[in-house]
Amino acid sequence: MRRDSTVGDRGSMTSTHKTLIGSAILAGLLPLVGNGLYDGGDSSGTAVLRQAEEGLPTIAYAAYSLELAGFVALCVLLGCLATLIGRRSPVAAVTTVVVGTTAVAVKVASVTPEMALRVHHDGLDPAVAELMAGLNGAGFVVFGFLLSVTLTAAGIGLLRTDEPRWLAWWAAVVGGLGAVAGVVGILEPARYVPVPFLLLLLWMMAYGLTTAVRPTRRMTVATPVPATQ
Protein backbone atom coordinates (compact mmCIF):
# COMPACT_ATOMS: atom_id res chain seq x y z
CA MET A 1 0.00 0.00 0.00
CA ARG A 2 1.31 3.50 -0.85
CA ARG A 3 0.46 7.09 -0.18
CA ASP A 4 1.54 10.28 -1.97
CA SER A 5 3.66 12.83 -0.22
CA THR A 6 5.24 16.02 -1.50
CA VAL A 7 8.96 16.42 -1.19
CA GLY A 8 11.44 18.86 -2.65
CA ASP A 9 14.26 17.67 -4.85
CA ARG A 10 16.50 20.61 -3.98
CA GLY A 11 19.15 19.77 -6.56
CA SER A 12 17.46 19.30 -9.91
CA MET A 13 14.30 21.23 -9.11
CA THR A 14 16.19 24.33 -8.00
CA SER A 15 18.31 24.18 -11.16
CA THR A 16 15.22 23.88 -13.37
CA HIS A 17 13.55 26.69 -11.47
CA LYS A 18 16.50 29.03 -12.03
CA THR A 19 16.80 28.07 -15.69
CA LEU A 20 13.14 28.87 -16.30
CA ILE A 21 13.42 32.23 -14.54
CA GLY A 22 16.63 33.29 -16.27
CA SER A 23 15.64 32.19 -19.77
CA ALA A 24 12.21 33.84 -19.55
CA ILE A 25 13.60 37.20 -18.43
CA LEU A 26 16.47 37.19 -20.94
CA ALA A 27 14.29 36.01 -23.85
CA GLY A 28 12.04 39.01 -23.37
CA LEU A 29 14.56 41.61 -22.25
CA LEU A 30 17.52 41.14 -24.59
CA PRO A 31 15.64 41.64 -27.90
CA LEU A 32 14.02 44.78 -26.51
CA VAL A 33 17.34 46.21 -25.37
CA GLY A 34 19.14 45.18 -28.57
CA ASN A 35 16.53 46.75 -30.81
CA GLY A 36 16.53 49.85 -28.62
CA LEU A 37 20.27 50.24 -29.04
CA TYR A 38 20.21 49.84 -32.82
CA ASP A 39 17.20 49.40 -35.08
CA GLY A 40 19.07 48.97 -38.35
CA GLY A 41 19.04 52.59 -39.44
CA ASP A 42 17.70 53.96 -42.72
CA SER A 43 16.40 51.19 -45.00
CA SER A 44 16.57 53.12 -48.27
CA GLY A 45 18.73 51.54 -50.95
CA THR A 46 21.32 54.33 -50.97
CA ALA A 47 21.66 54.29 -47.18
CA VAL A 48 21.93 50.51 -47.13
CA LEU A 49 24.74 50.54 -49.68
CA ARG A 50 26.56 53.30 -47.83
CA GLN A 51 26.38 51.36 -44.59
CA ALA A 52 27.61 48.21 -46.35
CA GLU A 53 30.63 50.12 -47.61
CA GLU A 54 31.40 51.85 -44.31
CA GLY A 55 30.63 48.91 -42.03
CA LEU A 56 28.31 48.62 -39.06
CA PRO A 57 28.54 51.17 -36.24
CA THR A 58 30.04 49.89 -33.00
CA ILE A 59 26.70 49.91 -31.19
CA ALA A 60 25.28 47.52 -33.79
CA TYR A 61 27.67 44.76 -32.72
CA ALA A 62 26.42 45.01 -29.15
CA ALA A 63 22.79 45.16 -30.27
CA TYR A 64 23.02 42.12 -32.55
CA SER A 65 24.89 40.14 -29.90
CA LEU A 66 22.13 40.84 -27.38
CA GLU A 67 19.45 39.77 -29.85
CA LEU A 68 21.25 36.52 -30.69
CA ALA A 69 21.67 35.77 -26.99
CA GLY A 70 17.96 36.45 -26.60
CA PHE A 71 17.16 33.84 -29.24
CA VAL A 72 19.27 31.28 -27.38
CA ALA A 73 17.39 32.13 -24.18
CA LEU A 74 14.12 31.73 -26.07
CA CYS A 75 15.07 28.21 -27.14
CA VAL A 76 15.84 27.31 -23.53
CA LEU A 77 12.56 28.86 -22.36
CA LEU A 78 10.55 26.89 -24.90
CA GLY A 79 12.20 23.69 -23.67
CA CYS A 80 11.29 24.58 -20.07
CA LEU A 81 7.69 25.37 -21.01
CA ALA A 82 7.35 22.14 -22.98
CA THR A 83 8.67 20.17 -20.01
CA LEU A 84 6.27 21.93 -17.66
CA ILE A 85 3.14 21.35 -19.74
CA GLY A 86 4.17 18.10 -21.42
CA ARG A 87 2.46 15.64 -19.09
CA ARG A 88 -0.90 17.42 -18.92
CA SER A 89 -1.00 18.82 -22.45
CA PRO A 90 1.34 16.89 -24.77
CA VAL A 91 -0.07 18.39 -27.98
CA ALA A 92 0.52 21.92 -26.69
CA ALA A 93 4.03 20.94 -25.61
CA VAL A 94 4.97 19.52 -29.00
CA THR A 95 3.47 22.53 -30.77
CA THR A 96 5.45 24.86 -28.52
CA VAL A 97 8.74 23.16 -29.35
CA VAL A 98 8.21 22.57 -33.09
CA VAL A 99 6.69 25.94 -34.01
CA GLY A 100 8.98 27.81 -31.61
CA THR A 101 12.10 26.24 -33.09
CA THR A 102 10.85 27.09 -36.57
CA ALA A 103 10.26 30.70 -35.48
CA VAL A 104 13.81 31.10 -34.22
CA ALA A 105 15.21 29.47 -37.37
CA VAL A 106 13.23 31.85 -39.58
CA LYS A 107 14.39 34.91 -37.65
CA VAL A 108 18.06 33.90 -37.65
CA ALA A 109 17.93 32.95 -41.36
CA SER A 110 16.39 36.33 -42.22
CA VAL A 111 19.72 38.06 -41.56
CA THR A 112 21.52 36.12 -44.32
CA PRO A 113 20.53 38.52 -47.17
CA GLU A 114 21.92 41.40 -45.15
CA MET A 115 25.12 39.44 -44.56
CA ALA A 116 25.46 38.77 -48.29
CA LEU A 117 24.80 42.43 -49.00
CA ARG A 118 27.75 43.49 -46.85
CA VAL A 119 30.07 41.12 -48.72
CA HIS A 120 28.83 41.69 -52.29
CA HIS A 121 27.71 45.33 -52.23
CA ASP A 122 30.06 46.55 -54.98
CA GLY A 123 28.14 47.47 -58.11
CA LEU A 124 24.72 46.73 -56.65
CA ASP A 125 21.78 48.86 -57.71
CA PRO A 126 20.16 50.74 -54.76
CA ALA A 127 16.79 49.16 -55.59
CA VAL A 128 18.29 45.66 -55.30
CA ALA A 129 20.01 46.61 -52.06
CA GLU A 130 16.74 47.90 -50.62
CA LEU A 131 14.98 44.71 -51.64
CA MET A 132 17.62 42.54 -49.95
CA ALA A 133 17.46 44.60 -46.78
CA GLY A 134 13.67 44.37 -46.88
CA LEU A 135 13.88 40.59 -46.61
CA ASN A 136 14.97 41.10 -43.01
CA GLY A 137 11.74 42.97 -42.28
CA ALA A 138 9.71 40.24 -43.96
CA GLY A 139 11.45 37.67 -41.77
CA PHE A 140 10.48 39.64 -38.67
CA VAL A 141 6.79 39.49 -39.65
CA VAL A 142 6.93 35.73 -40.21
CA PHE A 143 8.86 35.32 -36.94
CA GLY A 144 6.21 37.34 -35.10
CA PHE A 145 3.46 35.12 -36.51
CA LEU A 146 5.23 31.88 -35.57
CA LEU A 147 6.18 33.09 -32.08
CA SER A 148 2.57 34.12 -31.49
CA VAL A 149 1.35 30.63 -32.44
CA THR A 150 4.03 29.15 -30.17
CA LEU A 151 3.02 31.13 -27.10
CA THR A 152 -0.67 30.58 -27.80
CA ALA A 153 0.00 26.85 -27.54
CA ALA A 154 2.13 27.36 -24.43
CA GLY A 155 -0.59 29.49 -22.82
CA ILE A 156 -3.24 26.85 -23.50
CA GLY A 157 -0.96 24.24 -21.97
CA LEU A 158 -0.28 26.42 -18.90
CA LEU A 159 -4.03 26.64 -18.26
CA ARG A 160 -3.89 22.95 -17.35
CA THR A 161 -1.12 23.43 -14.79
CA ASP A 162 -0.96 25.21 -11.45
CA GLU A 163 0.71 28.27 -12.98
CA PRO A 164 -1.06 31.64 -12.47
CA ARG A 165 -4.07 31.68 -14.76
CA TRP A 166 -3.66 35.34 -15.65
CA LEU A 167 -0.25 34.57 -17.14
CA ALA A 168 -1.64 31.59 -19.05
CA TRP A 169 -4.51 33.64 -20.46
CA TRP A 170 -2.12 36.49 -21.32
CA ALA A 171 -0.02 34.18 -23.50
CA ALA A 172 -3.03 32.47 -25.08
CA VAL A 173 -5.04 35.61 -25.87
CA VAL A 174 -2.20 37.95 -26.89
CA GLY A 175 -0.60 35.11 -28.83
CA GLY A 176 -3.83 34.67 -30.74
CA LEU A 177 -3.96 38.38 -31.51
CA GLY A 178 -0.33 38.24 -32.63
CA ALA A 179 -1.11 35.36 -34.98
CA VAL A 180 -3.93 37.40 -36.55
CA ALA A 181 -1.62 40.41 -36.87
CA GLY A 182 0.98 38.14 -38.47
CA VAL A 183 -1.45 36.88 -41.08
CA VAL A 184 -2.37 40.49 -41.92
CA GLY A 185 1.33 41.38 -42.08
CA ILE A 186 2.12 38.50 -44.41
CA LEU A 187 -0.69 39.47 -46.77
CA GLU A 188 -0.21 43.24 -46.40
CA PRO A 189 3.29 43.90 -44.96
CA ALA A 190 2.71 47.65 -44.63
CA ARG A 191 -0.25 47.01 -42.30
CA TYR A 192 1.59 44.80 -39.82
CA VAL A 193 1.02 45.84 -36.19
CA PRO A 194 3.82 44.62 -33.87
CA VAL A 195 2.03 45.52 -30.61
CA PRO A 196 0.99 41.91 -29.74
CA PHE A 197 4.55 40.76 -30.43
CA LEU A 198 5.94 43.36 -28.01
CA LEU A 199 3.36 42.31 -25.40
CA LEU A 200 4.58 38.72 -25.73
CA LEU A 201 8.14 39.85 -25.00
CA LEU A 202 6.78 41.59 -21.90
CA TRP A 203 4.92 38.39 -21.03
CA MET A 204 8.17 36.45 -20.97
CA MET A 205 9.68 38.90 -18.51
CA ALA A 206 6.52 38.93 -16.40
CA TYR A 207 6.47 35.14 -16.35
CA GLY A 208 10.10 34.96 -15.28
CA LEU A 209 9.69 37.55 -12.53
CA THR A 210 6.46 35.96 -11.28
CA THR A 211 8.12 32.55 -11.18
CA ALA A 212 11.04 34.05 -9.24
CA VAL A 213 8.83 35.17 -6.36
CA ARG A 214 6.79 31.97 -6.20
CA PRO A 215 7.90 28.96 -4.10
CA THR A 216 10.07 26.44 -5.92
CA ARG A 217 7.99 23.68 -7.48
CA ARG A 218 8.01 20.40 -5.62
CA MET A 219 7.70 16.83 -6.78
CA THR A 220 4.99 14.40 -5.71
CA VAL A 221 6.29 10.94 -4.97
CA ALA A 222 4.80 7.79 -3.59
CA THR A 223 5.95 6.50 -0.22
CA PRO A 224 5.13 3.09 1.21
CA VAL A 225 2.68 2.80 4.09
CA PRO A 226 3.10 -0.12 6.47
CA ALA A 227 0.38 -2.73 5.95
CA THR A 228 -2.27 -2.84 8.68
CA GLN A 229 -2.19 -6.07 10.57
Distance between CA atoms of 63 and 34, rounded to whole angstroms? 4
- Give start and end residues of each alpha helix (H) in the chain: 12-37, 45-54, 58-85, 90-109, 112-119, 126-158, 165-187, 195-213
The predicted pLDDT at position 28 comes to 95
In 3D, which of 209, 224, 219, 213 has the Cα closest to residue 11? 219
> Average pLDDT of the chain?
83
The predicted pLDDT at position 9 comes to 42
In contact, 149 and 175? CB cutoff 8 Å: yes
Looking at 19-23, 93-97, 211-215, which range is the least confident one?
211-215
* pLDDT of 197 above 90: yes
Q: Which residue has the higher pLDDT, 140 or 39?
A: 140
The predicted pLDDT at position 180 comes to 97
| Amino acid of residue 99 | V
Question: DSSP code of 226?
Answer: P
pLDDT digits (tens, 9 = 90+) for 151-183: 999 999 999 999 999 999 999 999 999 999 999
* pLDDT of 222 above 50: no
SS3 assignment for 64-93: HHHHHHHHHHHHHHHHHHHHHHCCCCHHHH
Q: Which residue has the higher pLDDT, 132 or 64?
A: 64
Mean pLDDT on 16-43: 87
Percent of the chain scored above 70 by pLDDT?
85
Mean pLDDT on 1-13: 40
pLDDT digits (tens, 9 = 90+) for 108-127: 888 887 777 777 777 777 78
The predicted pLDDT at position 133 comes to 77
* pLDDT of 54 above 50: yes
In 3D, which of 118, 169, 109, 164 has the Cα closest to residue 140? 109
pTM for the whole thing?
A: 0.82
Distance between CA atoms of 164 and 224, rounded to whole angstroms? 32
Confidence of residue 95 (pLDDT cuts 50, 70, 90): very high
The predicted pLDDT at position 166 comes to 96
